[in-house]
Amino acid sequence: MDAPKAFELRNVGVRFDGFPALLGLNLEVRRGECLAFVGPSGSGKTSALGVLNGMVPPATGSVRIREVDLSSIGVSAIRKLRVEIGVIPQDLGLVPNVRVYQNVMAGRLGRQSFIGSLRRLIRAPRRELQEVMHFLKRLGIENKIFQRTDSLSGGERQRVAIARSLYQGANTILADEPLSALDPARARETLALLVDIARENHMTLVLSMHDLALAREFIPRLVGLKNGAVLFDRATGDISPEEFEELYNLESKERHG
Amino acid sequence: MGLAAVASWFLLDLHWSGLLPAAEGDSILRLFFQGAVSPALDYEADYVPKGTTPFLWKVAEAARTTLIFAAGGMSLALVFGFVLGFLGATSWWPRETHRRSDWRCLSCYLLPVMYSVVRLLIASMRSIHELLWALFFLAALGLNSFAAVLAIAIPYGGTLAKVFSEMLDEAPREAAQSLRSIGAGPLQVFFWSLLPQALPDACTYTFYRFECAVRSSAVLGFFGYPTFGYYIRLSSENVHYREVWAYLYALFAIVFVLEFWSSFLRRKVVMR
């Protein structure tokens, strides 16, 4: 039996300043599934990820998160849904001049009252620090816990962002180009880690990425986006080399209009 | 700028001769600068009544009062600056407020109104100089310390609020956006992301304004408050320029100490 739906997009269109970023995207993602949007720059990958947690409002179509239609609920209800969705943006979204543990602890802000979060900012409870330490240890950067975040390397900061999603207790991770700032060896290691962590914790993982070789090696389902439209959406093994070629072939755009 | 310089030259009827000392002015200038070389360590007057406070003690007392007025004014200005700076910034607003996408979103309509009111208030607070505020408060409250503290706090609070709000709005937004995307509320976004990023520059600017407040506090002495300005005016009227320079050197010393203290705090606490 299929797992329940984590996301369901029906004919979703997104426009930025009048320019189309997504054209009629249809997508179903099951809970615990791992998939990646692939495609050239400007193909709509980031917009697609933004739609999945309600940060980018669709101009047309409907978005359902865990069977809840976003158009039927208010701002605060959407915010509650976001609490369950971890986001790793391309720039990582970390506060550079605070400690690593503070960035990780920020993952749970959506679950805390304002006063509770302020108390934690002033003085982190020992038990929660131990929890942060546990996740950082899993990611191999436990010795960085009290360091300023901007003193870490790109790979280490990537891990801090992953630790934040783990600490958040999210059931889903949306990661936008998580490998873009990493060297090939580090990129492979990080992707393997993300996929492992998602599998271990039964999380839904949706990524956007450029590196087709890595995507084919680690991600079981790929959605090819080009000029805002879906070129293919299948199990990775079923996608032909010609389809991958067409995805990145700039000439094909002219050929097919 | 060139045009403005030429226009003001003619409109203000400026002449080079205006830079030459007036009658006996050159001897006053000479006396004044001689005082800089040998500032007074004791009263310059020939007769000083017995039991008068020693001169250097008086300088120290003036320094203490100047600092107290400046610190009092600045601490109140900081409260104004922080609260109004926060209310006058837009970077912490919920994303929906900027888009007005949801008619049920009350903050989408309230926040822009509050923002306009606060910006107007900030502008009016800082558009009047502290000396003018001092004049008003002297007339209204009399020569009491609270009038001086308020005279500093209001324009300084307005200036701090303007600069703080701009620092908050110019702080990188990526982290704020990322926290919003995982369900953090606007106040949490402010305290966990925007404030920490704006804090180092805000502290540096606050220290600079504290130096300015020390100068303003000194000048308030011209209205009768027992700060440097009061004693400088008395000594100056008696042509006791060596005494004037003793007060001025004490003022320099305070500014130097503040400079070292602020850079030490910035290095050890803010940038740590």
Q: Which residues of A touch B193 (CB under 8 A)?
A: 95, 106
Q: Residues A168, A174, A176, A179: what is their CA dihedral angle, to the nearest 10 degrees?
A: 70
Which among A108, A19, A9, A23 is positioned nearest to A64, based on CA atoms? A9
For residue A135, CA distances in Å to A140, A155, A195 come to 9, 16, 15
Contact B182 A87 (CB under 8 A): yes
Q: Quick one: pLDDT band at residue B143, thresholds 50, 70, 90?
A: confident
A171 and A84 Cβ atoms separated by less than 8 Å: yes
Domain annotation covers residue B37: no
d(CA B95, CA B93): 6
Find out whether A52 and A25 touch, Cβ atoms under 8 Å.
Answer: no
A96 touches chain B (CB under 8 A): yes
Residue of A nearest to B191 (CA): A118
Which of these, A236, A237, A234, A254, lies nearest to A246 by C-alpha position? A254
Scored b (16 or more CB within 10 A) or e, B142-174 reads eeeeebbbbbbbbbbbbbbbbbbbebbbebbbb
CB contact under 8 A, A55 and B192: no
Q: What is the pLDDT of residue B65?
A: 95
Residue B8: half-sphere exposure toward Cβ, Cα within 13 Å: 5
Q: What percentage of chain A has pLDDT greater than the value 70?
A: 96
B8 lies in some domain: no
| Res A183: pLDDT | 82
Asked if B181 and A74 come within 8 Å (Cβ–Cβ), the reply is no
Angle among Cα B140, B142, B146 to the nearest 5 degrees reads: 90
Under DSSP, the state recorded for B173 is -
Question: What single-letter amino acid sits at B132?
Answer: L
Q: What pLDDT band is residue A255 in, cutting at 50, 70 and 90? A: very low
Q: Which domain holds residue B265?
A: 55-270
Residues in A closer than 8 angstroms to B196, CB to CB, are 95, 97-98
pLDDT of residue B45: 84
Q: Is A104 helix (H, G, I), strand (E, B) or coil?
A: helix
Of A81, A85, A106, the CB nearest to B192: A106
Nearest by CB: A114 against B95, B188, B272: B188
User: CB of A194 within 8 A of CB of A178?
Assistant: yes
Across the A:B interface, residue pairs with CB atoms under 8 Å apart total: 91
Residues of A in contact with B102 (CB under 8 A): 74-75
Q: How many C-beta neighbours within 10 Å does residue A245 have?
A: 11
Q: Name the pairing type of β-strands A85-88 and A172-176.
A: parallel
* Residue among A86, A95, A114 minimizing CB distance to B175: A95
- Whether residue B4 is contained in a domain is answered as no
DSSP B92: T
Helix (H) or strand (E) holding B258: helix B241-265
pLDDT bracket for residue B263 (50, 70, 90): confident
The residues that bridge with A208 in the sheet, in sequence order, are A37, A176
Residues A150 and A100 sit within 8 Å (Cβ to Cβ): no
Q: Which residues of B touch A14 (CB under 8 A)?
A: none
pLDDT digits (tens, 9 = 90+) for B144-185: 888 999 999 999 999 999 999 999 999 999 999 999 999 999
User: What pLDDT score does B104 carry?
Assistant: 60
| DSSP three-state, residue A29 | strand
When CB atoms are compared, the residue of B102, B185, B196 closest to A95 is B196
Does B41 map to a domain? no
Q: Do B178 and A93 touch (CB under 8 A)?
A: yes
What interhelical angle do B55-87 and B195-220 show, nearest 10?
A: 140
- The pLDDT assigned to B98 comes to 52
For A126-129, the CB contacts below 8 A with 24+ separation are: A129/A101
Q: What is the CATH number of the domain that holds B92?
A: 1.10.3720.10
* SS3 category, A98: coil
Question: Is the CB of B102 inside 8 Å of chain A's CB atoms?
Answer: yes
Strand partners, A233: A223
pLDDT at position B141 over 50: yes
Residue contact B191–A83, C-beta within 8 A? no
**pLDDT digit string, tens, across residues A176-234:** 998 887 788 888 988 998 999 899 989 999 999 988 889 999 999 999 999 899 999 99
Query: DSSP 3-state assignment of A34?
Result: strand
Instruction: Report ipTM for this prediction.
Output: 0.89
CB–CB contact A75 B182 (8 Å): no
A59 lies within 8 A of chain B by CB? no
Instruction: Say yes or no for a CB contact (<8 Å) between A114 and B187.
Output: yes
Q: Is A125 on the interface with B (CB under 8 A)?
A: no
Among A94, A98, A114, select the one facing B185 at the smallest CB separation: A114
Contacts of A91 in chain B (CB under 8 A): 174
Tally: H helices and E strands in chain B: 12, 0
> Which of B100, B111, B167, B178 to mutate to probe the A interface, most A CBs <10 Å?
B178
Alpha-carbon distance of B55 to B232, in angstroms, equals: 13
Number of domains, chain B: 1
Specify whether the CB–CB gap between B120 and B158 falls below 8 A.
Answer: no
- Interface probe for A, chosen from B181, B187, B194 (most Cβ of A below 10 Å), is B181
pLDDT of residue B101: 55
At B141, which helix (H) or strand (E)?
A: helix B130-141
Residue B31 in domain: no
